[in-house]
Structure 1
Amino acid sequence: MSEQIIIFDTTLRDGEQALQSSLSTKKKLKIALSLEEMGIDIIEAGFPISSPGDFKSVEAISKKLKNSIICSLARCVQKDIDVAAEAMRFAKNFRIHIFLGTSPLHVKSKLKKSFSEIIDMAVFSIKQAKRYTNDIEFSCEDAGRTPINQLCYIVENVIKAGATTINIPDTVGCTIPHEFSQIIKSLYNKVPNIDKVVLSVHCHNDLGMATANSITAIQAGVRQIEGTMNGMGERAGNTALEEVIIAIKLKKNNLNLHTNIKHKKIYKTSKLISEICNTFIPSNKAIVGTNAFSHSSGIHQDGILKNRKNYEIITPESIGLKPIKLNLTSRSGRAAVKYHMIEMGYDEKLYNLDILYNSFLKLADKKGQVFDYELEALAFIDQKENDNEHFRLKKIDVQKQSIGITFSSIELYCGKKIKIAETKTKKGLINSIYITLNKIANFPIFLKNIQLITKKKKIHIEISTKVQIEYKKRQFYGIGNAKDIAESTALAIIHILNNIWRANKVNIILKNIKK
């Protein structure tokens, strides 16, 4: 029968430690509720003794959680334990998580104690925590560098004292899978009362081994995994929970294990945490990265179109993500181009695939990724005409005036005509330019996203502006490069306006074809 792996999330505690500033109570609560919705078993909400703000956040979360068990961290200090319990007093059930360094390095240089004193501190603290709850977790900090006999001895004693979960952290991410597995196996073989507790691991990613170590620990008998969403955390981060969760799901027949996680909530939770914490998820990040389900190689794209299982071991839908379209780049083949045209509703009889593919390759070599609306224009607009820009910037003047008002004046070539528009607004420089340009173009557009990137050149700084605009439920992307923000923003938006203009022209051409 399949056994459950308990998922312990420490995004709000260990994950937050990596942020430049603390999260507000409101933001922490939003994350906690999303983690609970995803099915996380235990949420480590914070370290209440560390600050009044952390205490307040843990207290607020303890009032709201209904299914997940709330947990707070405490040192082997009586006041820490008292404050942790006080912060969680509104929860029906809660866990106190006590930690203490056990490696010779931590014992001598950090704690300046003898090992026997460490044992006494641990046992005393667990007995103090038992006044508040029977759910007590003890972490042997720096277990990866603790001699195995000492580790076994302290684990045996804290179990006798009343700990119900024992955590074996690879605190500095120094172990490799076989080495870490041997530590876990030794605990099971040498600690006589190990069967009375749940064994847990908390791995760091300093050598890029956090997920591998966690999975190896599971195979050695561990039944609780600790980590964070997106692998957030100190230094190189923690075990990325989404990776472990999906590995358990994918290898359920091999491992004979399961979790209580609602897998289709993973992407939503990952994205929410990334946005709230203002942390960038690398595009090649396993499971939740933007490239995790994208395919650029023509060979891969052809295989995916025939059967997604050819190059995908999990589906985007399984983590709550919509199916990802194939990237159109110079490495794409005819199959991908044809697929995109079919997806847009175009019969192959309406265009010549060979001519379109050759035109596509030239554009892809020039600009990199090609979007569907650009492919559409290549298929139906004459090449020479397609190369011409309908909208071109003639002059731009942006000034910050008194009381927060920005004034923009823009002259734009519109085919053979020149049009001028002006705007005064309190909405800032970027919105001022956006409003002014659309007074000229007059499209029903909505500014969705904008990103500014500063590039250092040899003799000057260049601003690169990336813009996303929605037009009739379709997403358009533009980029502009210039020496100042105003011009680069204008060029990026004009880039999009030209693509919208071409998309409208395609519609007119197709209507005439149907006639």
Structure 2
Amino acid sequence: MMLSDPAQKYRPFVAVDLPDRQWPGKRIEQPPIWTSVDLRDGNQSLIDPMNQERKQRLFDMLVNIGFKEIEVGFPSASQTDFDFVRTLIEQDKIPDDVTIQVLTQARPHLIERSFEALKGAKNAIVHVYNATDPMFRRVVFKVDKQDCVQIAQDATRQIRDAMNAAPETNWTFQYSPELFTTTEMDFAVEIVEAVMDTYQPTAEHRMIVNLPATVECATPNNYADQIEWFCRQVKNRDTLIISLHPHNDRGTGVAAAELGLMAGADRVEGTLFGNGERTGNVDIVTVAMNMYTQGVHPALDFSNITPIMREVEHCNQLPVHPRHPYVGDLVFTAFSGSHQDAIKKGMTERREHPDAIWHVPYLPIDPLDVGRSYEAVIRVNSQSGKGGVSYLLEQEHGVELPRRLSIEFSQVVQEVAERTGREITSQMIYQAFSDEYLERSEPFALASHRLWSEPDSPKVNLEATVDIDGQRQTLSGEGNGPLAAFIGALASAGHEVEIIDYNEHSRGQGADAEAVAYVEVRLDGKAIFGVGIDDSITSASMKGVLSAINRHHSTQAPAANVTSNTLA
């Protein structure tokens, strides 16, 4: 049961004293060194850890994405990891520009086993850690600060000597004071400097100091303060690569990584889509794509994000949330009517200015940049409006509804959505459009027509064959154009129609293009739309008039002649 006063049990995080902090005014202007820990940190958190096949598939994909550092396992703790590392090396599956990384605890036999796994590697990082947090020192390991430093130095010395004994490998050393964020900051500097004294890094051969938020326990600005404070205090900063390893216990791992980079870090360890213990590691995809939206290329290629997501889901046997930033199946999808209307208008402007800076409402990036199409940007349910319906008709069926018709037809779709209680697909929308406007053939249906004009006459003559209440009739009329002549022909037979508005466009390209005509008429004092589609624009416009008349008649009982003013 939640406490009425949680202060009885929990205490706020004690912030670093850094009144002149500089990081809030910084910007991320270049990508960090990215290190994937999917195959180690991510894998150890899985319900069903990866087998060799899944590990290899994920490794190959990470290489293709562009990762140059990949933590491939904990070979001293897992025979599966050991065998995988050996397979990578012995079967020459590691590109020359990729460095593999292994993790080990600061214990002699585990360090020795790690070097056995790495034998023959071209480029390798040996990552050693020991817990420096006061609770771990006191409760878990029962060591004091001096003992803790000694453990780190002894492990460093053993790793240094093993590296010197295998000069054929290009080695990099990495040390993590585990639970850095809850370690006393002065002690974090003390133990790192003791490790540095043992390893002796130089500006030409730097060591990695990884500063993990092993358990995220404060707002991300505190992590940034800690990183900036550490970078200021530690000696010989130019001999170090400062690395971040944020976890996501508070749901702010991405923000912690971004602020940590602003505070001076050089490197980020994380996983694709944030898989990891508890609430996970920092999500490298989100951090990278956040940079991309600011005009900074992350040096990782997510141009085809859906196959990447599906492969990770296969390897991890875990789903990616449909609302996951940049990636989820629904992340570029709008159901809300107001959102859809704004997106539709933004996309229309984008088509008119395709080379302009990207500014489309509700879409922080162009879905095409990550291999998504525009087809799923707008989807329709009972929460949607005219904008979404019009967008789908236009994008997938080439039907560009005038605004007033869009309003009218959205009510038809709304009724379907509320009646079914489910999402309305593009095909369902077009079927409803066809049923409502295109397929109505009673009481009027156009059979054929013939046009001609007399010499020296501005008028167009028309003879139309029309089925009316199942009876074929021939109607004749004239006017300033084909549509006016058709209105005249209807009037001559006692069916008077007033045209309020008319729009047309082509659908498709080349010889197969169709004409679409939208006709708004006034009948019995009411405005109503009709739509016609035909290979001929003249036939399409006539069908549009009859569509409107038929829709009007469907609401009248008994049927009666249509009366209004003729086309001027």
TM normalised by structure 1 equals 0.70
Query: How big is the shift at 1:368?
Result: 2.7
Compared CA separation, residues 345 and 275, structure 1 to 2 (3 A) = same
Please say if 1:371 is aligned against 2:371.
no
Structure 1 residue 98 corresponds to structure 2 residue 137: no
Q: Does 1:318 pair with 2:366? A: no
Q: Does 1:213 align with 2:256?
A: yes
- 1:34 lines up with 2:61 in the alignment: yes
| Structure-to-structure mapping, 1:386-397, within 5 angstroms | none
Counterpart Cα distance in 1 of 2:321 and 2:118? 35
Q: Secondary structure at the match of 1:286?
A: coil
Distance 2:257 2:406 in 1: 49
Aligned 8 A contact 1:35 1:269 in 2 = no
Conserved 8 A contact 1:159-1:196:
no
Deviations 1:428-485 (A, max 9, x none): xxxxxxxxxxxxxxxxxxxxxxxxxxxxxxxxxxxxxxxxxxxxxxxxxxxxxxxxxx
Q: Which residue matches 1:472?
A: none
**The residue matched to 1:341 in structure 2 has which SS?**
helix
Amino acid of the structure 2 residue aligned with 1:372: S
1:136–1:280 Cα change, 3 Å? same
AA partner of residue 62 (structure 2): L
Q: Quick one: distance in 2 between partners of 1:329 and 1:125?
A: 60
Secondary structure of the residue that 1:13 maps to in structure 2? helix
Distance 1:322 1:49 in 2: 45
1:354 CA drift (Å): 5.2
Distance (Å, rounded) in 2 between the aligned partners of 1:110 and 1:140 = 15
Contact 1:2/1:258 (CA < 8 Å) preserved in 2?
Answer: no
Which residue pairs with 1:406 in the alignment? none
1:307 to 329, 336, 346: 346
Q: Residues of 1 paired with 2:30 and 2:380: CA distance?
A: 43
2:309 is aligned, of 270, 274, 290, to: 270
Distance 1:360 1:33 in 2: 46
Percent identity, aligned pairs only?
25
2:332 maps to amino acid: F
User: How far is the alpha carbon of 1:2 from its aligned partner?
Assistant: 5.3
Contact 1:171 1:202 (8 Å CA) reproduced: yes
* 1:322–1:87 Cα change, 3 Å: farther
Unpaired runs of at least 5, structure 2: 1-27, 164-169, 202-206, 348-359, 441-532, 544-568
State how 1:492-507 maps to structure 2 within 5 Å: none
For residues 87-123 of structure 1, the C-alpha deviation after alignment (integer angstroms, 9 at most, x for no partner) is 2334311111111100111112122222212212112
Counting only pairs closer than 5 Å after superposition, residues 32-71 of structure 1 correspond to structure 2 as: 32-62=59-89, 63-66=92-95, 67-71=97-101
1:114 paired residue number: 144
Give the Å deviation of 1:346. Answer: 4.5
Q: How many residues were matched structurally?
A: 388
The structure 1 residue matched to 2:332, chosen from 274, 289, 293, is 293
Q: Structure 1 residues 305, 126: closer, same or farther in 2, change over 3 A? A: same
Query: Which residue identity is paired with 1:328?
Result: V
Which residue of 40, 52, 57 corresponds with 1:25? 52
Counterpart AA for 2:373: K
1:312, CA displacement in angstroms?
1.4
Write the distance in 2 (CA, Å) between the matches of 1:289 and 1:213: 22
Could you say what secondary structure the match of 1:264 adopts?
A: coil
Q: In the aligned structure 2, how far is the partner of 1:3 from the partner of 1:346? A: 42
Return the alpha-carbon distance in structure 2 between the equivalents of residues 347 and 230 of structure 1.
Answer: 38
Structure 1 residues without counterparts, runs of 5 or longer: 387-508
Contact 2:68-2:98 within 8 A present in 1 as well: yes
- Cα distance in structure 1, aligned partners of 2:370 and 2:118: 31
Q: Distance in 1 between matches of 2:112 and 2:309?
A: 33
Matching of residue 76 in structure 1 with residue 103 in structure 2 = no
Instruction: Kindly indicate whether residue 222 of structure 2 is the aligned counterpart of residue 222 of structure 1.
Output: no
Q: Which moves more between the two structures, 137-146 or 368-377?
A: 368-377
- SS in structure 2 opposite 1:310? coil
Match of 2:465 in 1: none
Q: Does 1:340 align with 2:392?
A: yes
Instruction: Determine helix, strand or coil for the equivalent of 1:74.
Output: strand
Letter in 2 for 1:110: V
Take 1:172 and 1:349, find their aligned partners in 2: how far apart are those partners? Answer: 54
Partner of 1:329: 381
CA distance in 2 between counterparts of 1:180 and 1:290 reads 32
TM-score, structure 2 length as denominator?
0.64
Give the structure with the higher percent helix: 1
1:300 is displaced (CA, Å) by: 1.6
2:185 is the counterpart of 1:142: no
d(CA) in 1 for partners of 2:534, 2:115: 69
Indicate how the Cα distance of structure 1 residues 52 and 168 shifts in structure 2: closer, same or farther if over 3 A, else same: same
Structure 2 CA distance for partners of 1:9 and 1:117, relative to 1, 3 Å = same
Query: For residues 349 and 284 of structure 1, what CA distance do their matches in structure 2 show?
Result: 30
Please state how far the C-alpha of 1:285 moved relative to its aligned partner.
Answer: 1.5
SS in 2 for 1:97: strand
- The one of 22, 28, 32 equivalent to 1:5 is 32
8 A contact 1:328–1:369 mirrored in 2: yes
Quote how far apart the aligned CAs of 1:60 are: 2.4
CA RMSD of aligned residues (A): 2.8
Q: Which moved more, 1:11-20 or 1:127-136?
A: 127-136
Report Cα offsets for 1:322-369 as digits up to 9, x if no partner.
333311122322232122122333545899655532221012123231
Q: 8 Å contact 1:203–1:239 — kept in the other structure? A: yes
Displacement after TM superposition at 1:380 (Å): 2.0
- The one-letter code matched in structure 2 to 1:134 is W
Deviation for aligned residue 1:237:
0.6
Deviation at 1:138, TM superposition (A): 0.7
1:261 aligned partner: 300
- How much does 1:370 deviate? 0.5
Q: Secondary structure at the match of 1:152?
A: helix
1:165-190 per-position Cα deviation (integer Å, ceiling 9, x unaligned):
00011111112222111211221121
Residue 495 (structure 2) aligns with: none
- Classify the secondary structure of the residue corresponding to 1:285: coil
Q: Which amino acid in 1 is paired with 2:331?
A: A
Q: 1:322 to 1:276 in 2, by over 3 A?
A: farther
Q: Deviations over 1:136-165 (max 9, x none)?
A: 111111111100110010111112222600
Q: Is the contact between residue 9 and residue 227 of structure 1 (CA under 8 Å) also seen in structure 2?
A: yes
**Change over 3 Å in CA distance of 1:181–1:65 after alignment to 2:** same
Partner of residue 410, structure 1: none
- 1:228 partner letter: T
Query: In 1, distance between residues paired with 2:306 and 2:338?
Result: 27
Structure 2 vs 1, CA of residues 363 and 193 (structure 1 numbering), >3 Å: closer, same or farther? same
Tell me the amino acid that sits aligned with residue 394 of structure 2. I
Q: Offset at 1:202?
A: 0.6
* Counterpart in the other structure of 2:4: none
